[in-house]
Structure 1
């Protein structure tokens, strides 16, 4: 199996597969009610909907970088915020998040295997031992997704007991 296929499978695993650490992200967010998504427990920096917006923003940014565009802040902003509670908007947000990840997995699957160790179009400096490679960027996004999935799980437990 080549690197593109391996990275695609790794992302799919954390999204909806059998991740070794527990529930995949889509299972975690399916447990979140609309009401819980917009509730912010005392002491929390963000609510669950805000975290999903943040994850969506960075997924979209990584997809643009995979296409050779210069690195920058996400078009939506780093923490764009989910706004006022709205059940339809919540369902739409989940759909956008899933679509963005589907698009990213396709970019990964079609990425030239020999280019994974190439430097991305990012002049900000290194962010991992791998440098600014496409592989490091995708690995970093997967770590970012898992980190925030843990936050979502904890927030949902705080809200629902």
Structure 2
């Protein structure tokens, strides 16, 4: 039987760069998006692709901090930071930062002691903030968050292409 960290890391790796059953993985989705399309606002959209990826990056970083015992809060740059003006280098840096944040998270997952996985995080329960869950639920929630927004990225990219 696989350990909790092995199982969670396998799930995270599958959706990020593996072969998930539902379609393309997150990295292949973001790597297929041009910087022009990343900053384009499709009709009726509230956020651009770059804005959604910034949101995903912020929450990957926030979850990593919670895994390390920090109290919950919004991501340092905010829940939905403004991606700014279109810039090819900035788009590449955003993709690289997202990938690095997830590698860092996987390292933190591997280092969490076995007896903490079913323990509550350092916060009281607040469903709107996603707090007061166990460490396992926190990572499962981030995986779900990544899947949800990856679908948005794929659909928006298809609309813009």
1:145, 1:156 → 2: CA distance? Answer: 16
Please identify runs of 4+ aligned residues in structure 1 that moved more than 3 A: none
Q: How many aligned positions are there?
A: 157
Contact 1:41 1:155 in 2 (8 A): yes
> Normalising by the residue count of structure 1, what TM-score does the alignment of the two structures yield?
0.94
In structure 1, stretches of 5+ residues that fail to align are none
Verify: 1:35 aligned to 2:71, yes or no: no
Contact 1:54 1:81 in 2 (8 A): no
Q: CA deviation at 1:81?
A: 1.9
Per-residue CA deviation, residues 20-46 of structure 1 (Å, 9 max, x unaligned), is 111110011111011110001110010
Match of 1:50 in 2: 51
3-state DSSP of counterpart to 2:16: helix
Q: CA deviation at 1:122?
A: 1.6
2:93, 2:147 → 1: CA distance? Answer: 21
Cα-Cα RMSD: 1.1
Q: CA deviation at 1:126?
A: 4.8
Match of 1:152 in 2: 153
In structure 2, stretches of 5+ residues that fail to align are none
Q: CA deviation at 1:124?
A: 4.2
